[in-house]
Chain A
Amino acid sequence: MKKAKALILTTAGINCDFETQAALNICGARSERVHLHELISKKNKLQNYDILVFPGGFSYGDDIASGKILAYQIKDKLKDEILKFAQSKKLIIGICNGFQALVKMGLLPDEKTFKQSVTLYYNDSGKFECRWVYLKTNPQNNCIWTKNLPEIICLPIAHGEGKFITKDEKILKNLKKNNQVVFKYCDAKGDFGKYPICPNGSQENIAAISNSGGNIFGLMPHPERFIFALQSVTKKGFDDQFGWGKIIFENAVNYIG
């Protein structure tokens, strides 16, 4: 079985890279933290990896808007490299700040257009929301990252800009038609509702989306913070030991292997 090789992209302000690396390695990957400038200067080649991770954090201090400068830099300096990686059906995940960067560069929801059509804007509450949330999974979705998850899971969130908005109704309609909505914020029973069930005011409670091919996945919650049951406030996950985040990373590793 081939060992999946993951690149965890770091730059100024990213602070979830070590935790994400640990999560991936626990799930059987061989992951490396690589600084953005190593890719721009071609010291390291993106195409040598199977998985690309945009971890959580506060890239460039969230200056201008969360993920904006990182998205701009990637689009400006690495556009062809990223497109080649995405279109070769390799796996990409953007977690929290990484998700913000993916939508702002336009890799999600449609890597073919590579144009921004959705965004993650300031939470309606006007506050940084840092807590656990329930998420309803979409069984019709073909996202490689989220197979084998139960109908309702819980994961932690920590963001000030997580309100998912589409540019127009047509984009939202297409996301639903193509089953690109992966997670929605819900309560413990799986019912949808407004704040505090939906922590940010997202359209239709959307918390995560994928591209239509299912290889690019972006989510506001942090799966790397729930690998073991002990990391949760309830101390409950599955098999009395593990958290739902483990399944997400294992899916990626198993897909490569």
Chain B
Amino acid sequence: MFNVEISTNPDLEDARGKAVLADIKMMQIKGVKDVHFCPVYFFSGNLTFEQIQTISQRLLTDAVSENYSIAKTDKICADKFNVIEVYYKKGVTDALALSVKKAIKSFDLDDKIIVNTAKRYYLDGQVSFGALENIALKILANSLIQEYRIEKKIL
């Protein structure tokens, strides 16, 4: 499995992260200083690192405003931030993943490749697990169709 994470260039405003931060503040949850938003794409099947790199460069990343990183694991690194990842439940159509799958047809890849997506939020600050769960449930995820996982920052 490959996991491609897209992030906003650090010198640009992360408007989607800022919008989440504003919602958190409105809920009066204290301790969160900043939020960074990263869309994540999971690819599994017969793919090479070079192919994933090409897809990431040509399709998934904006050449001016974004960077990408590729990992071979779906493990979340929480050494600097608290992380909440939101993804669709099994059986719910992941429309973004379907669009990516259609678009990568031109890369001459194996038809059996599976694409999934998630939204990853990096939260800076000291927050309890309960507060993170509250943020996930009340702001970030629609629990009817989505699931989430939380990685609390390693202290």
User: Which residues of A line the B interface, CB within 8 A?
Assistant: 60-61, 63-65, 68-69, 72-73, 76-77, 104, 116-119, 121-127, 163, 165-167, 201
Contact = CB atoms under 8 A, between A and B. Distances in A.
B31 to A, nearest CB: 21
A221 B38 CA distance: 28
A126 B106 contact: no
B18 A64 contact: no
A167 B12 CA distance: 11
Contacts of A166: 64
A126 B64 contact: no
Given A60-B103, A63-B96, 9 more contacts: A60-B99, A68-B62, A69-B59, A117-B64, A118-B64, A119-B64, A121-B15, A121-B64, A166-B64
Contacts of B34: none
B63 interface: yes
Given A72-B59, A104-B62, A165-B65, A125 B15 contact: yes
Nearest to B58: A72
B141 interface: no
Contacts of B96: 61, 63-64
B interface residue count range (under 10 / 10 to 19 / 20 to 34 / 35 or more): 20 to 34
Interface of B: 8, 12-13, 15-16, 18-19, 22, 58-60, 62-65, 95-96, 99-100, 103, 106
Nearest to B60: A64
B59 to A, nearest CB: 6
A64 B12 contact: no
A54 to B, nearest CB: 18
Interface of B is mostly: helix
Contacts, number: 66
A64 B99 contact: yes
B29 to A, nearest CB: 18
Contacts of A127: 19
A80 B8 CA distance: 31
A121 B62 CA distance: 9
A201 B13 contact: yes
B12 A165 contact: yes
A116 B60 CA distance: 14
A69 B60 CA distance: 9
Top 5 nearest A-B pairs by Cβ distance? A126-B19, A63-B99, A119-B64, A122-B15, A126-B15
A64 B94 CA distance: 12
Contacts of B12: 121, 165
Given A104-B62, A119-B65, A165-B65, A73 B103 contact: yes
17 contacts: A61-B95, A68-B59, A69-B99, A72-B103, A73-B106, A76-B106, A116-B64, A121-B15, A121-B64, A123-B15, A126-B18, A126-B22, A127-B19, A163-B15, A165-B65, A166-B64, A201-B13
A124 B17 CA distance: 10
Contacts of A116: 62-64
A122 B9 CA distance: 12
Contacts of B8: 121
A104 B63 CA distance: 8
A64 B98 CA distance: 11
A77 B100 CA distance: 16
